[in-house]
């Protein structure tokens, strides 16, 4: 039988004290205490859709207006949110470790930029960001924090399951300034490949780290879901911070159950 993961904080802190290269893999749960909804479980729906229905190239092709409503709503929501003590604990630990010639890196699945806002510098955003657009015609990528992102989406995107689809015509959705092509959010949808450079650099960090933290992710979406189990299989300690057990828990050495805004600052202080 497998050993149960330990929840001994003193033992974890000893491992952390001696680690030279720490990778923190984060998911939606780290932003939950900032007020950003997670994807799975209660509250994970926008209207009657979950992420797997609407965060796809097929959904965008079929109804770009609906998908833009979804992202427009989430951009506005996130613009009103701030990093919480878990994001800040990681950013502060990165600075402290750097002063001691050690390294902490965050690999996030989140697209909310709250790690950046907290001051994290060593950051890989696996699934892109809410605040960049990409042209579907010329491929140009641009930062964009406009609210609303275009006049036709002003006041649209209500998450209410009874809200009516705005059916904005394509010509009035966000368009490219260079070529007038239709813009899309610069995020990674189901069935799409991750940016190969981001993926390669993240993989290098994972291959050389001597401690891995898995924070606020259900560990069901690939390829991120296999990162921590791979590190663990190398014999490197992995510590999970989550409000519940996940499919990965059994393979990790440590599991700290509870909101990571409370558990992580204690672990990394
Ligand atoms: C707290 C907390 C608190 C709450 N404190 N904790 C291999 C096998 C099977 C399938 C595949 C495979 N390889 C690829 C696939 C297909 C697919 C996939 O993984 N599907 C699975 C669902 C099975 N993957 C892909 O398509 C990926 N592309 C790819 O691999 O390309 C090559 C390829 C394609 C197809 C076939 C084979 C190869 C791309 C995935 C892109 C995911 N995109 C999304 C949307 C991004 C844009 C957007 O946000 O709109 O990314 S989906 C969504 O899920 C989002 C998230 O980043 C991602 C992960 O979710 P996360 O962060 O784990 O959130 P939750 O909600 O699931 O969990 C929150 C956790 O927090 C929970 O555990 C809570 O308990 C916890 N929690 N409060 C601590 N306070
Ligand atoms: Zn263009």
pLDDT tens-place string over residues 34-59: 999 999 977 789 999 999 999 999 99
Sign, CA torsion 29/31/34/39: negative
The reply to whether ligand 1 has any atom less than 6 angstroms from the CB of 220 is yes
Question: What pLDDT is recorded for position 3?
Answer: 72
Assigned CATH topology for domain 37-80+128-187 = SIR2/SIRT2 'Small Domain' (3.30.1600)
pLDDT band at 4 (very low <50, low <70, confident <90, very high): confident
Burial 28-54 (b: 16+ CB within 10 A, else e): bbbbbbbebbbbbeeeeebbebebeeb
pLDDT band at 169 (very low <50, low <70, confident <90, very high): very high
In contact, 36 and 114? CB cutoff 8 Å = yes
Helix (H) or strand (E) holding 50: none
Quote the tokens at residue 82: 């701030």
Question: What pLDDT is recorded for position 44?
Answer: 86
Residue with the two structure tokens 């001051």: 119
- The residues of the chain that CATH labels 3.40.50.1220 are 1-36+83-127+194-269
**37 three-class SS:** coil
Question: What pLDDT is recorded for position 2?
Answer: 61
CA–CA separation, 238 and 8 (whole Å): 13
> Any idea which ligand is nearest the CA of 183?
2
Quote the tokens at residue 101: 């010639």
Residue 165 has pLDDT above 80, yes or no: yes
Mutate to test the pocket of ligand 1, among 184, 216, 221 (most ligand atoms within 8 A of CB): 221
| pTM score above 0.80 | yes
Mutate to test the pocket of ligand 1, among 25, 27, 89 (most ligand atoms within 8 A of CB): 27
In contact, 254 and 7? CB cutoff 8 Å = yes
**73 three-class SS:** helix
Residue 1 has pLDDT above 60, yes or no: no
In contact, 110 and 127? CB cutoff 8 Å = yes
**Active-site residue (options: 127, 186, 255, 269):** 127
Residue 6 has pLDDT above 60, yes or no: yes
Residue with the two structure tokens 């990165």: 94
Q: Is 195 annotated as a binding residue?
A: no
The reply to whether ligand 1 has any atom less than 6 angstroms from the CB of 33 is yes
Residue 216's Cα: distance from chain center in Å? 9
Q: Is 27 annotated as a binding residue?
A: yes
Percent residues over pLDDT 70 in the chain = 99
Report the pLDDT averaged over residues 193-216.
Answer: 98
Across the chain, where does the E strand assignment appear? 21-26, 103-108, 123-125, 128-135, 141-143, 183-187, 211-215, 238-242, 254-257
Question: What pLDDT is recorded for position 205?
Answer: 98
Residue 184: closest CA among 109, 128, 240: 128
- The residues of the chain that CATH labels 3.30.1600.10 are 37-80+128-187
Residue 216 has pLDDT above 90, yes or no: yes
Q: Is 32 annotated as a binding residue?
A: yes
Residue 115 annotated as catalytic: no
Rg (CA), the chain: 19
Report the pLDDT averaged over residues 122-135.
Answer: 98
CA–CA separation, 224 and 25 (whole Å): 8
* CATH architecture designation of domain 1-36+83-127+194-269: 3-Layer(aba) Sandwich (3.40)
The reply to whether ligand 1 has any atom less than 6 angstroms from the CB of 192 is yes
């Amino acid at each position: 039988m497998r050993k149960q993961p330990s929840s001994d904080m003193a033992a974890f802190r000893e491992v952390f004290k001696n680690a030279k290269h720490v990778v923190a893999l984060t998911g939606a749960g780290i932003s939950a205490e900032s007020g950003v909804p997670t994807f799975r479980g209660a509250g994970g729906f926008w209207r009657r859709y979950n992420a797997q229905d609407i965060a796809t190239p097929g959904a965008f092709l079929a109804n770009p207006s609906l998908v833009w409503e979804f992202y427009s709503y989430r951009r506005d929501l996130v613009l009103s949110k701030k990093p919480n003590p878990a994001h800040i604990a990681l950013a502060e630990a990165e600075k402290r470790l750097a002063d001691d010639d050690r390294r902490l890196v965050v690999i996030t699945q989140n697209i909310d930029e709250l790690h950046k806002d907290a001051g994290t510098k060593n950051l890989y955003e696996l699934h892109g960001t809410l605040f960049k657009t990409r042209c579907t015609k010329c491929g140009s990528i641009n930062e964009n924090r406009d609210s609303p992102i275009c006049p036709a989406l002003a006041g649209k995107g209500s998450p209410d399951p009874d809200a009516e689809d705005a059916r904005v015509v394509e010509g009035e959705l966000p368009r490219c300034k260079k070529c007038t092509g239709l813009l899309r959010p610069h995020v990674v949808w189901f069935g799409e490949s991750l940016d190969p450079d981001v993926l390669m650099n993240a993989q290098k960090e994972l291959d050389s780290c001597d401690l891995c933290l898995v924070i606020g992710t259900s560990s069901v979406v690939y390829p991120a879901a296999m990162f921590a189990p791979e590190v663990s299989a190398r014999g490197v300690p992995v510590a999970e911070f989550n409000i519940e057990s996940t499919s990965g828990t059994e393979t990790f050495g440590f599991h700290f159950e509870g909101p990571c805004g409370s558990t992580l600052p204690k672990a990394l202080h």
